[in-house]
Chain A
Amino acid sequence: MRVRRGAIEALKGVSCEIHAGEVTGLFGPSGSGKSTLIRAIAGVQANVAGELSVLGRQPGSAAVRRQLGYMTQAPSVYEDLSVAENLRYFAHITGADTGQMLSRTGLQDQAGQLVRDLSGGQRARVSLAAALLGSPGLLLLDEPTVGLDPLLRRELWGLFRELASEGAALVISSHVLDEARHCDRLILLRDGRMIAALTPEELLERTGTDDMDEAFVRLIEN
């Protein structure tokens, strides 16, 4: 699969599979094409060439949209609504209910606050909560843990693991390589190219280190 964005080729050929019941991590520096790949799978990226099948269908088709949870990189929620109002609206249009989502994302104390009054990390969590509503079969999360405190980050990775064990396919991008340990499978991108698709164990074994950052560097150098 390739993606052209204006004059540049943002993805220069990616070939991979994403499995249900697994957490697939998309890693690479900013500008490496992580968001473009996620947007292509979400069906909102124009100029996608090659083959791309999502849940066995055309990306963006009505059947896929009923099973998709998508969190964009910038928090895409309504700033002039409260946290609870945002979740109620997104629950309504996805046919879900808000259930325990506030407490699952650590937002129970902010329910009545307007999103514009929240910190950056809290906004990101509202955006994440909106994507998780209705237990979608495919979750595309673009940098969901950026700017969060370590304790909450660990809790969220626990939550992602739980969702995967319930059968969902998760695609999670991050530029913090240390988080690669939490994934079942890694797709490493650099400069629009896929440089590897493997498990975290394979990555460490192949590069002979137990430091994820170092492993990435060695992979590029070889």
Chain B
Amino acid sequence: MGSAGSRTFATGGRVLSQLRHDPRTIVLLLAVPCVLETLLRLIYDRHLLAFDRAGAPLLAIFPLTTVFLVTSVALLRERVSGTLERLLTTPLGRLELLLGYALAFGLLAVLQALVASAVTLGLLGLNVAGPPAMVVLLAVSVALLGMGLGLLASAFARSEFQVVQFMPAIILPQLLLCGLLVPRQLMPAGLHALSDVLPLSYAVDGMHHLTLQSGAGGALWGDVVIVLAFAFGALALGAVTLRRQTP
């Protein structure tokens, strides 16, 4: 009988094998952030300070969108194809299933963050005052958030068409309000208050802290903790939707 830990690792390995059979998706996941950062660098060629201001938050936005999309589609497939129903009749627990997914997508987020940060900080010369490792940590926290939101979205969709439509509905409002376009303190009071309850705002705040101050200050850690709290909240809500009994 396999232990809980080994079932979690087997699930993570299975999810990674599924990705491995889909090299095109992996290439897109790794290359698109680099291309977009390069584009941004060219756009702001005469305003390098603006590149620093926008380029760093983007590094936190990529894992949110990519992990949201892969999780929502993968979990939707599990629900629709009957594999989830089968899994829930085996000794595999729901928490083990979710941790397995978190392991696989967390690893994917680390890889994406490493490649994107190497290109953005190294080749494109984005100035980050804080430690680059914190960029990766923040990206992985955001990836877990994307996973939680994707898991929730998969519960409310019946087809892949529907589930990808949750992306603009859930991610774009956060993108508009996160402080990337207009600093949050300059927004009307109502919108500022709204941005305070959206997790991406804290991820972008964290990236701003990283660009402005050296060292990993308390404010930065605060942002990471808040993003992780949102992530675990979304994952816990999502776990409730993984019911063993369905109508």
Contact = CB atoms under 8 A, between A and B. Distances in A.
A46 B247 contact: yes
A81 B17 contact: yes
B89 A60 contact: yes
Interface string A67-107: 01010111111111110010001101111000000000000
A111 to B, nearest CB: 14
Interface in A1-45: 5-6, 42-45
Contacts of B89: 42-44, 60, 65, 68, 70
Categorize the interface residue count of chain A: 35 or more
B197 to A, nearest CB: 33
Interface stretch (B3-11, B29-37, B38-46, B230-238): B3-11
Given A72-B82, A78-B18, A78-B83, A90 B90 contact: yes
B68 to A, nearest CB: 19
Contacts of A169: none
B246 A92 contact: no
Contacts, number: 88
Contacts of A90: 86, 90
A60 B245 contact: yes
A47 interface: yes
B77 to A, nearest CB: 8
Given A65-B91, A76-B81, A93-B2, A81 B86 contact: no
A188 to B, nearest CB: 25
Contacts of A65: 89-91
A5 B18 contact: no
A93 B247 contact: no
Interface of B: 1-2, 6-7, 10-11, 13-14, 17-18, 21-22, 81-83, 85-92, 243-247
